[in-house]
Amino acid sequence: MSGVAMLSSPTSIRITTSADVRNRSPFLRSYIINSQNPYSKTASPSELAHAGRTPLDSARFKAFTRLLPLLFVCYIIAYIDRTNVAVAKLTMGEDLPAFDSRVFGFGGGIFFLGYFLLEIPGSLIVERWSARKWICRIMVTWGFMAAATAFVTTPLQFYIVRFLLGVAEAGFFPGVIVYLTHWFPSKDRARAISYFLVASPLAMMIGPAVSQLFIDIGRTRIVDGATITNPLLLGLKGWQWIYIFWGIPAVIAGFVVLYYLTDRPRQAKWLTVEESEALEAELEREKALRASDAHHSVFAALTSPRVLLLSLAYFGIVTANYGIEFFLPSILKKWYELEPSTVALLVMIPSLLVIPGQLFIGWSSDKYHERRWHSVLPVVAGALLLVLSPLTRGNIYLTMICFTVAAAGMKAYMPAFWALPSLFLTASAAAGSVGMINSIGNLGGFLGPIVMGYVDHLFGSYDYGLYFLCLTSILSATLIAVLPLRLPKRDE
């Protein structure tokens, strides 16, 4: 899935009054009264590690090192559990003949309908209840649903389990983003989210690399004219073990989240009193600064034509992104008649360019204070290579180059894209709008796999599906290119 949403609930915003200050400890009263402008320069995580840092700097450093690694691992597991069907599909159809491309396309996409239904309510639960308890519930239930996919025997069962997997996982990504607002001041939040996002392309490498170890279990194949049947493992085949194996870490990580994460700084025993109070004061002050325009600006954002256009643009790119992710293994297998284990290794290659691509676009966009074309150009480059990919059939090296650049383009744009709402909306409105963009855009994960599956079923070829994904990408890039934006000043 996936997008960035800096969500903040208007109901959670409260102004720090004089009574609030009087009720605080002497240290916190002094911090609230005498603290500097919240937009002044703050230290980076590496600078925070040096001696002599303030209680606030120390608290920020501890938050980075304690919270982000676990959340990062959880997102890797989440992304693998929603996309491992792409690798399992390579042999699943051998045992279940009714599972053709159309079935896999619909099953892959229906996940996002369930995901869409509970995404926003899930984020509100994190805001108003407990992040660690809700994320624990999410991970345990999605782990069981992911493992249950191993036992489906009919397309209807497959659809139901995939839909319930989406329902189970809904709220995880926006919930984590909301959780980060409870811990990271605005100066740290974008950096924290960028570290969290790298889990997605990393998952696209780890998932296939591990899954290919299971893919041939219980499988019969012909090698050099001889029929070879690999033994079952506990009565189950390889594609079944892919679902089960990746479901287990989700359940385990869910309980780790419950006992390891802390909902708020004031509850953290691993912070000193001075550190927790300093961090709470900084976060409360930022909420107070946003309180005056919260209700009006958020409503304006949700009804803004520009926000709706960005939602459509994100929808088109996500359509292409998940269309590629779910069907790239099948395309390579069909074009080159490769063994499933070989295909699983090849699909790792595109992610090798995604990570440096995201980091470079984020760096360059910040350096030159430019967002629009840093969003448009990667998507256009990806679309052009995607439309050329059918012409490379017969040369696997050129094919992999095309799909690698295409995959990088469909992900590298993200750091610049998610900075666009802040160019024409205030802070609170931008936060609300990003939640809406993310919710609508992720429905593209339903459309892309379905189109790819149906096109292959109707025409016996993925070519027209790839052309469709190219078209949605170009339309999205065009919307971003013509969208009226207020460019930031150089000193912003």
For 402-412, the pLDDT digits (tens) are: 999 999 998 88
- Residue with the larger pLDDT of the pair 291 and 194: 194
Identify whether residues 280 and 414 lie together within a single domain.
Answer: no
Is 19 contained in some domain? no
The residue behind tokens 């109070």 is 277
Using alpha carbons, list the distances in angstroms from residue 176 to 67, 180, 311, 359: 11, 6, 21, 21
What is the identity of the amino acid at 335? W
pTM over 0.85: no
Return the top range by mean pLDDT from 46-60, 248-262, 286-300, 349-363. Answer: 248-262
Is 444 contained in some domain? yes
Q: What gap in Å lies between CA 280 and CA 266, rounded to an integer? A: 7
Nearest to 220 by CA among 236, 212, 231: 231
Using alpha carbons, list the distances in angstroms from residue 157 to 33, 114, 186, 231, 260: 60, 15, 44, 26, 35
Identify whether residues 203 and 315 lie together within a single domain.
Answer: no
Any idea what the CATH number is for the domain that residue 359 is in?
1.20.1250.20
pLDDT score, position 193 = 74
Pairing of strands 226-229, 220-223: antiparallel
Is 31 contained in some domain? no
Identify whether residues 428 and 297 lie together within a single domain.
Answer: yes
Number of domains in the chain: 2
Domain carrying residue 237: 53-288
pLDDT score, position 130 = 81
- Averaged pLDDT of the chain: 80
Final residue in a domain of this structure, among 229, 254, 288: 288
Is 163 contained in some domain? yes
Identify whether residues 273 and 320 lie together within a single domain.
Answer: no
Is 465 contained in some domain? yes
The residue behind tokens 């501890």 is 62
Residue 428, pLDDT > 60, answer no
The two three-digit tokens of residue 100, written as one number: 């053709």
- Residue with the larger pLDDT of the pair 238 and 229: 238
Contact 207, 80 (CB under 8 A): yes
Contact 408, 354 (CB under 8 A): yes
**Dihedral, CA atoms, 257, 262, 263, 265, nearest 10 degrees?**
-160
pLDDT score, position 1 = 44
Identify whether residues 154 and 80 lie together within a single domain.
Answer: yes
Give the mean pLDDT of 335-349. 89
Identify whether residues 70 and 191 lie together within a single domain.
Answer: yes
Contact 486, 424 (CB under 8 A): yes
Residue 188, pLDDT > 60, answer yes
Q: How confident is the model at residue 5 (pLDDT cuts 50, 70, 90)?
A: very low
pLDDT score, position 282 = 85
Quick check: helix, strand or coil at residue 226?
A: strand
pLDDT score, position 23 = 42
Q: What gap in Å lies between CA 73 and CA 446, rounded to an integer? A: 25
Q: What gap in Å lies between CA 464 and CA 452, rounded to an integer? A: 8
Residue 41, pLDDT > 80, answer no
Identify whether residues 210 and 328 lie together within a single domain.
Answer: no
Percent of all residues in the chain with a pLDDT value above 70, rounded to a whole number = 80
Q: DSSP string spanning 285-320? A: HHHHHHHTTHHHHHHHHHT-HHHHHHHHHHHHHHHH
pLDDT score, position 437 = 81
pLDDT score, position 150 = 94
Type and span of the H or E element at 456: helix 444-459
Identify whether residues 281 and 365 lie together within a single domain.
Answer: no
- Please report, in angstroms and rounded to a whole number, the separation of the first and last CA atoms in the chain: 30
Return the top range by mean pLDDT from 116-130, 187-201, 362-376. Answer: 362-376
pLDDT score, position 432 = 58
Scanning 16-130, the segments in alpha helix (DSSP H) are 18-22, 26-34, 45-48, 55-83, 85-95, 101-128
- Residue with the larger pLDDT of the pair 123 and 359: 359
Q: What gap in Å lies between CA 435 and CA 14, rounded to an integer? A: 21
User: Which of 47-51, 415-419, 451-455 has the least mean pLDDT?
Assistant: 47-51
HSE toward the beta carbon, residue 370, CA cutoff 13 A:
10
Q: What gap in Å lies between CA 398 and CA 266, rounded to an integer? A: 55
Final residue in a domain of this structure, among 267, 288, 309: 288
- Give per-residue pLDDT as tens, 73-87: 999 999 898 888 888
Identify whether residues 310 and 346 lie together within a single domain.
Answer: yes
The two three-digit tokens of residue 180, written as one number: 């980060």
User: Which of 115-119, 150-154, 422-426 has the least mean pLDDT?
Assistant: 422-426
Give the mean pLDDT of 245-252. 94
Identify whether residues 205 and 115 lie together within a single domain.
Answer: yes
Is 6 contained in some domain? no
Identify whether residues 355 and 479 lie together within a single domain.
Answer: yes
Return the top range by mean pLDDT from 48-52, 97-101, 400-404. Answer: 400-404
pLDDT score, position 365 = 82
- Give per-residue pLDDT as tens, 441-477: 888 988 999 999 999 989 989 999 999 999 999 999 9
Final residue in a domain of this structure, among 229, 259, 288: 288
Identify whether residues 299 and 203 lie together within a single domain.
Answer: no
Residue 292, pLDDT > 60, answer no
